[in-house]
């Protein structure tokens, strides 16, 4: 590939990057035609097509890009909770085995941090602790159904990005709460 052509594709890649950033930051709807055009240009060059990120190979439209991001975010939300729970259990030298699902793992942590619903004496805290358990169960179920860690059928329904954003925010808030509570018990 000659130098001018290489420079052209590099500039097109930068334009594509700006388009994706604009889409992600401003939730902009415009730019789908330009995205598709640049994507096709890059995918038509074998040396470039084999090096592009997987989302570019998979996502032929900006709408598909949003779906790709949402599925990964849901998986990341569940993974964050699992990692925080395992870290706390490891630090407290509490065995948990390798077969616990995320609700069981969370319940083990919550019990050892004395934040499980059954350990609360005041009704409002029982309700909040129960809500946290429900959030963990919901994020686990959401990841199993809509996350990107399982194969999808042709009839699979996609999740809206706002649901992914909610899962990420709830996971982050609950993870911070767990870590702060654990640090108080050290």
Six-digit token string for 182 = 């654990």
The whole-number average pLDDT for the span 157-180 is 87
pLDDT digits (tens, 9 = 90+) for 37-75: 999 999 998 888 888 888 888 888 887 777 778 888 888
Q: Write the DSSP assignment of 5-25 as a string of letters.
A: HHHHHHHHHHHHHHHHHHHHH
Question: ∠174-142-109 over CA atoms, to 5°?
Answer: 35
Mean pLDDT of the residues in the chain: 87
| Residue 25 pLDDT | 66
Helix (H, G, I), strand (E, B) or coil at 13: helix
Specify which of 17-21, 114-118, 146-150 reaches the highest per-range mean pLDDT. 114-118
The whole-number average pLDDT for the span 136-158 is 78
Q: Which of 74-88, 103-117, 155-169 has the lowest mean pLDDT?
A: 155-169
| Residue 59 pLDDT | 86
């Amino acid at each position: 590939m000659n130098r001018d052509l290489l420079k052209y594709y590099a500039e097109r890649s930068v334009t594509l990057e700006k388009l994706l950033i604009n889409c992600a930051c401003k939730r902009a709807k415009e730019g789908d035609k330009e995205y598709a055009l640049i994507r096709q240009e890059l995918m038509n060059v074998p040396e470039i097509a084999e090096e592009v990120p997987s989302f570019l190979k998979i996502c032929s439209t900006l709408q598909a890009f949003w779906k790709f991001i949402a599925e990964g975010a849901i998986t990341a939300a569940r993974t964050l909770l699992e990692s925080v729970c395992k870290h706390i259990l490891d630090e407290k030298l509490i065995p948990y085995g390798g077969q616990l699902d995320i609700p069981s793992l969370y319940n083990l942590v919550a019990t050892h941090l004395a934040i499980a619903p059954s350990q609360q004496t005041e009704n409002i805290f029982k309700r909040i602790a129960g809500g946290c358990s429900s959030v963990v169960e919901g994020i686990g179920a959401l990841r199993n159904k809509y996350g990107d860690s399982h194969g999808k059928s042709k009839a699979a329904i996609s999740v809206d990005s706002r649901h992914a954003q909610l899962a990420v925010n709830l996971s982050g808030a609950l993870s911070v709460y767990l870590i702060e509570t654990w640090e108080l018990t050290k």
